[in-house]
Amino acid sequence: ILDKWESSVIIVRNRFKLVGTKPSLIEFRTEVKNEFLGGANVSTAPDIFSYFDEFIENKRLAKRKTSTIVQYNNAKNLLREFVTKKEHGRRIEFNDMTKNFILRFIAFCEVDKDHEANTINKTMKRIRAVMNDATKRGINTLLDFRDEDCNRSYVKQPKVCISESEYEQILALDLEEMSRLYKVRDIFTAGFYTGLRHIDLKSLNVSHFTEEHGREVIKIKMEKTEGFVKVPLKPIVKSIITKYGGQLPMISRQKFVDYTKELCQKAGLITLVSRVKKGKQEVYEKWELVGSHTMRRSFATNAILNGINPEYVRRITGHATLKQLYEYVCVESKEYLDVAAENEFFK
């Protein structure tokens, strides 16, 4: 109840500040009481969630990528959950988006939702985009959301990739044919040798096989960028897809991640990797940090370590720039020194 009274005081204070008037004590008390009880008058200002919905719909009409729409929806739903649980589900307008409100929302993400700094950084990026849009259109005038405190800095974490020797450990596992781990290993293999994202592997089928310049390749339109990529078709990938009748087994992304972790643990991928969690360094075994993007990172890393020109790798992965590609590459000093030492340049 005290939290609600405090929130009501802050809202009313900001409301008077926005219109530039100084209320009497009685006026201020009356407005706070009305706000606490739900408001005496119906506001004509748009609430944040109605505007969020309009913003997302405009993005959809503008043919923005599906993944982008999903991210905006996730940010909106997280903000709505905060308002429901911590703000008694009250109506939230743009002048409610004070620094205090945003900081409490970030605290909710950290404590209640256990989100890491990078996840919060992405959430706030989406919310700021909506707030900036409303500001540009003259609907919002409160700029607390631009305060440097109203965010969490992005933490650059060590990348996790599977080396070719580690992949051999996975391949050597004796798995029951067509069991869930057997199928996951096949999907992982396809990603390991194509660099395709999990969402693209789900749609990959024999209709994407073609021939160019006398070589078999995969030609597929990527879901995220909507651009076409051409990937040399490795025989093991072709045989796996053919084995399943022309298309890989369908497994949800979360199930795929869970099973891949189990697969890598079973294969003994226990190299220690440091990560920053809640501002502190923690150590994990490699299998614990494997995700759906590990296939794509491993492809880019192993292709470059095997001497393929990074520009050619970039064209295969579909990255717009080499800088973006290098964000995927995880090469330890021993690996790049070993490769470089074998080059004629150093002999």
- Rounded Cα–Cα distance for residues 3 and 269 (Å): 48
At 65 the pLDDT is 79
Tens-digit pLDDT profile for residues 230-259: 999 999 999 999 999 999 998 898 999 999
At 40 the pLDDT is 47
**Which tokens hold the place of 67?**
């993944």
Contact 201, 184 (CB under 8 A): no
At 230 the pLDDT is 93
**Which tokens hold the place of 194?**
């194509």
**For a pLDDT cut of 70, what percent of the chain falls above it?**
93
Tens-digit pLDDT profile for residues 131-176: 999 999 988 999 999 999 998 888 777 788 999 999 999 999 999 9
At 331 the pLDDT is 66
- Long-range contacts, stretch 205-212, CB < 8 angstroms, 24+ apart: 205/241, 205/246, 205/247, 205/248, 206/241, 206/242, 206/246, 206/247, 207/246, 209/233, 209/238
What is the phi/psi pair of residue 231, to 5°? -125, 125
At 159 the pLDDT is 81
Tens-digit pLDDT profile for residues 258-271: 999 999 999 999 99
Candidates 191, 166, 200; CA nearest to 299 is 191
At 336 the pLDDT is 57
**Residue 209 above 50 pLDDT?**
yes
Contact 270, 166 (CB under 8 A): no
In this prediction, residues 292-308 reach a mean pLDDT of 90
Contact 297, 160 (CB under 8 A): yes
What is the phi/psi pair of residue 3, to 5°? -60, -40
Contact 146, 114 (CB under 8 A): no
In this prediction, residue 333 has a pLDDT band, given cuts at 50, 70 and 90, of very low
Q: What is the pTM of this model?
A: 0.68
Tens-digit pLDDT profile for residues 7-66: 889 988 888 887 777 888 887 888 888 888 875 454 556 789 999 999 999 999 998 877
**Residue 302 above 60 pLDDT?**
yes
At 42 the pLDDT is 46
Burial class of 97 by CB neighbour count within 10 A (0 to 12, 13 to 18, 19+): buried
- Rounded Cα–Cα distance for residues 57 and 25 (Å): 43
Tens-digit pLDDT profile for residues 281-295: 889 999 999 998 899
Q: Kindly report which listed range (38-42, 335-339, 342-346) carries the lowest average pLDDT score.
A: 38-42
Q: In what order do the strands lie in the sheet with 215-221?
A: 209-212, 215-221, 228-232
Please report, for residues 30, 248, 249, 250, the alpha-carbon distance to residue 206 in angstroms, rounded to integers and kept in the order given: 70, 10, 13, 15
